[in-house]
Amino acid sequence: MKALFIISGLGILAMLAEIFKFKRALYPLVLIGILAALVANFTEFNNNESIQAFNNMIRFDNVALAFSSVILITAFLWFILANDYFTNETSLTDHFSLVLFALTGALMLTAFSNMTTLFLGIEILSIPLYVLAASKKNDVKSNEAGFKYLIMGSFASAFLLFGIALIYGATGTFDLLAIRAKISEGMPLFFYAGIIMMLIAMCFKVSAAPFHFWAPDVYHGSPTVIMALMSTVVKTAAFVAFMRLFLVGFGSATSVWAMAMAGIIALSLIISNMTAAAQSSVKRMLAYSSISHAAFMLMGILAVNPIYSMRAILYYALAYSVATIGGFTVLYRVEKQSGNTYDDFNGLAKRNPFAALGMLICMLSLAGIPVTAGFFAKYFIFTALIGSTYKWLLVLAVIMSCVGVYYYIKVIIAMYFKKPTHQEPLLIEKSHTLLLAIAVVLVLVLGLLPNFVLSV
C-alpha cells in the first residue's frame, strides 16, 4: 500500500521538478524512492492490518507484496539501464513521470481486488506506455509502434470492459471475492461469455498468440529501453493481474476457460518459437521470445494449483525479468555502437569479454539451461502443471524449449565463434557494467538457491 503511494508521489514530484528546477536531482531521487518503496513493502509483509484497505478495493496481501517487490526490483534495475534515456532536456521530467505512473499502474495490478481497480490499473499502466512507445518523435517506426499499441490496447480494453459488464450483470458485484463466492452451476450463459472476453483481453495485454500481432512491431519500433520496460515490468504486472483474476476470481470456473487457455498456450509456444528462430535481429528475436515466455507463465496459471502456481509464476517472473534486463543492457550498448542484428554481435567475446560473458549467462538463463535461474523457473512451472490434465502441453513445451535453445545459442555462437565484423572494442560505461554484474549474480544466485524465493 505504502509503495503505491510512494511511487505515485514520485511521479508527481517528477512533474514538480520541472517547475522548481531540480531536474538534476531527480534521477537519484527516483532511485532512492524506489528503494524506499521496496523497504516499505518488506515492512508490510505478514502485517494483516493493511490487507483490507478502501472497502476491499485493493488488497496488499503477501502475494501482492511479493510481486510488487519483484516489479520494484526490476524497475530499479531498469532505471540503471535507462540512465541515458533521461537526457532529453525538453521532456526529461515527462519521461520520469510517465514511467513512474506506469509503475503505479503495475503496482495496482499486483493488488487489485475489484474489477474497477483492475480496469483502472490496466489503463494507468497502458496509457503512459502508449506515449513512451512513441517517444522517439522523429522516428517513423517509433510512431508506428505507439499508434499500434494504442489501437490494440484500446481494443483489448473494450473487450475487458464488455467482459466486466457481463460478469457484473450476472453476479451484481465488482468484487473479486464476491464473484468467486457467487460462481455456481446455474450461472447464466453470458457470465461465461464475460469470462472468455476477459480472457481475450488479458491475452492481448500479455501478448499471447493469437492476440500477439501487435507485439513484435511495437517492441521492435519502441526505443530499446522502453522495450526492456515493456518486456519486464509491464509483462510481470500483466501476469499478476491475469493470475489474480483467474486464480482468485474465476478459480472455481476452470472448466470454462482452461481448455481455451491451453489452446492459447499451445499456439503461442509454436508461433513464437518458430518465428523467433527465423529472425535476423536480436531485438525482434527477444520480442518473439517474450511471447514464448508469456506462454510458459500462462502454463503456471493453467495449473490452478493454489500454492504452487503462484510461487512458480513469481519465480519465473523474477528470473525472466532479471535475465532480460541483463540481456538488454548488452543489446542496448551493441545497438548504440552498430545495430541489433546477430552479425553485430559477432566476436563480442574479443571486443568486450565481460559483456559477452554476461550476455552468455543471460541467454542461457532465458533458454533454460541448468544452474541458471531460467532452468528452475521452467522446472517449477512444469512441476506445477504435471498434476493437471494437460500433460500433452508439457511435451510441447519441452520441444519448444529446445527450439528456444537454438535461437539463444545463435547469439552465443555469434559472440564466441564468429569473426568480429567491427574491430573496435565495445565500451560499456561503469553503471551498465555494474548492472550487468548484478543481473548475472542474481541469475546465478537464483539458480543456485531457488528455494530462497519459494520460501517467501
Partner 1 sequence: MGYSITQWLFGILSFLAIMFALMVVFTRNPINSVLYLVMTFFCIAGHYLLLNAQFLAVVHIVVYAGAIMVLFLFVIMLMNLNQDTEPQKTLMTKLIAGLIGGVFLAVLVGTLKGAEQLSFSQTGASQIGMVKNLGIVLFKDFLFPFEIASVLLLGALVGAIMLGKKEIK
Instruction: Provide the binding-site residues for partner 1, judged by CB under 8 A.
Output: 8, 11-12, 15, 53-55, 57-58, 89-91, 94-95, 97-98, 101-102, 104-105, 108, 114, 116-117, 120, 123-124, 127-128, 130-131, 134-135, 137, 166, 169-170, 186-190, 192-193
Cell numbers standing for residue 425:
572494442
Residue closer to partner 1 (CB basis): 131 or 330: 131
Complex with partner 1: residue 71 or 414, whichever CB lies closer: 71
Q: Greatest CA span in the chain, whole angstroms? A: 70
Instruction: Report DSSP state, residue 52.
Output: E
Task: Identify which of residues 240 and 412 has a Cβ nearer to partner 1 in the complex.
Answer: 240
Residue 83 CB, nearest approach to partner 1 (Å): 19
Q: Give the three cell numbers for residue 51.
A: 490487507
What minimum distance in Å lies between the beta carbon of 108 and partner 1?
A: 7
Which C-beta is closer to partner 1: that of 98 or that of 209? 98
Please report how close the Cβ of residue 9 comes to partner 1 at its closest, in angstroms: 10
Instruction: Verify cis geometry, omega within 30 degrees of 0, for the bond prior to 210.
Output: yes
**Cell, residue 1:** 500500500
Report in angstroms how near the CB of residue 325 gets to partner 1 at its nearest.
23
CB atoms within 10 A of CB 173: 15
Return d(Cα 102, Cα 13) in angstroms, integer. Answer: 15
The smaller minimum CB distance to partner 1, of residues 99 and 291, is found at 99
User: Closest separation between CB of residue 192 and partner 1, Å?
Assistant: 7
What would the grid cell of residue 22 be?
531540480
Residue 171 CA to residue 156 CA, distance in Å, equals 22
Q: Which helix (H) or strand (E) holds 306?
A: none
Q: At what angle do helices 92-111 and 115-133 cross, to 10 degrees?
A: 150
> Which residues are CB-neighbours of 1 under 8 A, at least 6 positions away?
44, 50, 53, 58, 60, 111
Closer to partner 1 at the Cβ: 124 or 348?
A: 124
To the nearest whole angstrom, how small is the minimum distance from the Cβ of residue 114 to partner 1?
A: 7
List the one residue out of 65, 43, 102 whose CA is nearest residue 314: 65
Report the residue number, 193 or 369, with the smaller CB distance to partner 1. Answer: 193
Output the smallest distance, CB 98 to partner 1, in A.
Answer: 6
